[in-house]
Amino acid sequence: MATATETLPFQAETKELLHLMIHSLYTDKDIFLRELISNASDALDRLRFESITNNEILEGNDKFEIRLEADPKAKTLTISDSGIGMTREEVVSNLGTIARSGTGELRRRLAEKGAAADLPELIGQFGVGFYSAFMVADKVTVLTRKAGAAGAIEWESDGTGTYSIREAEKAERGTTITLHMKPADKDSGIEDYTDSWRISSIVKKHSDFIAYPILLKKEPDPKETPEDAPAAETPLNSMNPIWKRSPADVKPEQYNEFYKHISHDWTDPMKTIHFRAEGTFEYEALLYIPSRAPSDLYYVGAEAGLRLFAKRVMIMEKCEDLLPHYLRFIRGVVDASDLPLNISRQRLQQDIHIQRVRKRLTTKVLESFKELFEKEPDQYLTVWNEFGRAIKEGVGSDFENQSKLTPLLLYASSHDAEKLTSLKDYVGRMKPDQEQIYYLTGDSRKMIENSPHLEGLKAKDYEVLYMVDPVDELLVQHLQEFEGKKLKSVGKGTLELGTAEEKAEAEKELKSKEDEFKPLMEFLQKELGENVKQVRLSSRLTSSPACLVVEEYDYSPMLERVLQKNKGDFPKQKRVMELNPKHPLILRLQQRQAAAADDPLLANAAEVLLGLALLSEGSELPDPLKFNRAATDVLGLVV
Ligand code: ADP
Ligand code: MG
């Protein structure tokens, strides 16, 4: 087995992605180099980080660099790093599969028409930059030796479905990637990547901020003696960490390139936040609000955290203590002047300075959202579409900042068929006699819109917020009021609308009907006891005969459905049936019941009434067969 070559298939999604990559019409093919250099830089960061606690791993060689070597005759370009390297297992999982969560989503996106056009977006979103090498190379060889390990691994592929892997030898630790270049082809954007001038200009454009020297091996100059060559080596990049520079000296493109390096995203960020904190604990922070959510944002184990440096040395790749969890989509770097290099995760978490940094960064990010919200509503809408759910999580978890988060919320509402509204705008439109902010949760706008619960509000022309996201259920548990106005679910508890007189009037009217309708209510209660815990009269309905509501502190039907789906044995809640005493159907039932309490129509009518109320709010029928039979019998009596 020692030197045997094995041929292994790529994971199905990888294979498809590679196919798209190879045939890609994406013209900005230069960026393959940025991706490979970015990976080399990551590998060097990891090694340097490891070596803080385990110096042996350096094997006495503390050179941290990236070397490029082009051979115009052989048409190859080699990218070498003296970084951490990979074991066989790591090679197989990193270069043969897509390890990130969300591959299901990737599969779906690949199956969509137009996936080829979205390629760069897909590569960025799913963090698969390595494969971009196949845009420009028809064969890629990776020779890698994990720092500290004895043997090396050679991986090779033409990207068409399989790769080969075998044990090999490599004197220096780290990874050497050899690209066998496709012939230059202006139309498809493939340049001659073995040309030194081109290589150095791509590096300067896309990878200038890389913290390690990027060295290009000079082509042999017949006039120079071999000894002259090493002395002449100067890095292609300036190696000045971008966050250490003054914001005035950094161009937007430079910020964007750096963002792509740390985020693995191929799209420019929406906003950059760069500042320096002076005082007892000094640090620089460079943060980005991406313009698009990563594929795994809402999965367990989503990529989170900022890169934490201590005096330019990365001491943590994903430090989750610098921002609250709901801001996990923010990318960036924090470089502190006074942190020990080997600080443990636990010490860091408890560090008072780090807690202050976290507070400050959170404020900065929320201020940026506010600025976008106020000055660039279109951009803010993108933020909302991409990260709105995370912001909602914040309302329910970051109570200290709740008052900064709630003005950022946007909801669909009965005010406008398309445009979303903020709570502030809602409050601005409230009717003079309206005291509360009304909302209803449900699976979709359409379903909520047609819900009988809204009838009374529509009659009064009160606006209702439509909450269609399951996290809204959690949000409203933590958001009792906004600007002094209580949030009130239209589907919960009783609903009294209008001025004090109108309310008193409505109550008086209901009271007056109480006795008359009592026998019918008792009958329905008994008939439907399995699903209904109480029957009462209500003035909230105008055109429907009945609806179902829950008590003020019960779960809403949407939340109940979610809980039941996640946890099969979640007990079913009984609900309150509200009757519209002015509806002809209810009036007739009351009369028939008064005339003959044993009228065979009544039991079936009760069943139909319950079914209609459930269907109107989008819930399932507890017993569709029973409903079917009852409806048939009722029809039989009238046709
Ligand atoms: P990403 O960089 O977003 O993780 P890539 O497709 O660029 O995705 O790379 C996949 C993985 O392969 C990396 O996460 C890393 O673990 C590994 N890898 C790639 N290049 C190198 C390298 N030069 N040295 C060590 N590991 C590497
Ligand atoms: Mg990468």
How do residues 21-42 score in pLDDT, each as one tens digit? 888 777 789 999 999 999 999 9
Position 101 pLDDT exceeds 70: no
3-state secondary structure 230-265: HHCCCCCCCCCCHHHCCHHHCCHHHHHHHHHHHHCC
| Separation of alpha carbons 459 and 456, rounded Å | 5
Measured in Å, residue 263 CA sits from the centre of ligand 2 at 9
Mean pLDDT computed over every residue of the chain: 91
Q: What separation in Å is there between the alpha carbon of 146 and the centre of ligand 1?
A: 13
Question: Which residue's C-alpha comes closest to atom 3 of ligand 1?
Answer: 127
Return d(Cα 49, Cα 55) in angstroms, integer: 10
Residue nearest to atom 17 of ligand 1 (CA): 94
| 313-346 residue pLDDT tens | 888 889 999 999 999 999 999 999 988 888 888 8
Angle at which helices 12-22 and 103-111 pack, to 10 degrees?
A: 50
Kindly report, residue by residue over 253-297, the tens digit of the pLDDT.
999 999 999 998 889 999 999 999 999 999 999 999 999 998 888
**Atom number of ligand 1 nearest to Cα 128:** 6
Q: Residues near 458 by Cβ (< 8 Å), separated by ≥ 6?
A: 414, 542
Between CA 395 and CA 293 the distance in angstroms is: 19
Distance 38 CA to ligand 1 centre (A): 9
Compute the average pLDDT of residues 522-536.
95
Q: Is the dihedral of CA 329, 330, 333, 334 positive or negative?
A: negative
Angle between helices 31-53 and 252-263 (to 10 degrees): 60
End-to-end CA distance of the chain: 83
Give the distance, in angstroms, between the CA of residue 148 and the centroid of all CA atoms in the same chain: 37
pLDDT at position 554 = 87
Nearest CA, atom 12, ligand 1: 94
What is the distance in A from the centroid of ligand 1 to the CA of 129? 8
> Could you read off the pLDDT of 422-475 as tens digits, one per residue?
999 999 999 999 999 999 998 899 989 989 999 999 999 999 999 999 889 889
Nearest Cα residue to atom 27 of ligand 1: 39
Residue list, ligand 1 pocket, CB within 6 Å: 35, 39-40, 43, 81, 83-86, 94-95, 127-130, 175, 264
Give residue 217 CA to ligand 1 midpoint distance, Å. Answer: 23
**Which ligand is in closest contact with the Cα of 100?**
1
The pLDDT value recorded for residue 343 is: 86
Cα of 222 to ligand 1 centre, how many Å? 38
Q: What is the pLDDT of residues 190-246, one digit of tens each?
A: 999 999 999 999 999 999 989 999 999 976 666 666 565 555 578 999 888 999 999
The ligand 1 atom nearest the CA atom of 79: 23
Say what the pTM is: 0.84
> Which residue has tokens 């370009």?
77
Taking 3-state DSSP, the helix, strand and coil percentages for the chain, each rounded to the nearest 5, stand at 45, 20, 35
Least confident of 75-84, 151-160, 235-244: 235-244
Q: Which of 17, 88, 94 has the most ligand 1 atoms within 8 A of CB, as the residue to mutate?
A: 94
Please tell me the residue having the least CA distance from ligand 1 atom 20.
39
Question: Would you call 33 helix, strand, or coil by DSSP?
Answer: helix
Nearest to 330 by CA among 304, 308, 367: 304
Would you place residue 617 in the very low, low, confident or very high pLDDT band (cuts 50, 70, 90)? confident
- Nearest atom in ligand 1 to 83's CA: 24
CB under 5 Å of ion ligand 2: residues: 39, 129
Q: Tell how far the Cα of 158 is from the centroid of ligand 1, in angstroms.
A: 18
Question: Separation of 131 CA from ligand 2 center, angstroms?
Answer: 9
Q: How far apart are CA 37 and CA 206, in angstroms?
A: 10
Mutation test residue for ligand 1: of 18, 42, 78, the one with most atoms within 8 Å of CB: 42
- What pLDDT, on a 0 to 100 scale, did the predictor assign at position 1? 45
Q: Closest residue (by CA) to atom 4 of ligand 1?
A: 127
- Residue 246: the pLDDT is 96
Ligand 1 centroid – CA 125 distance (Å)? 15
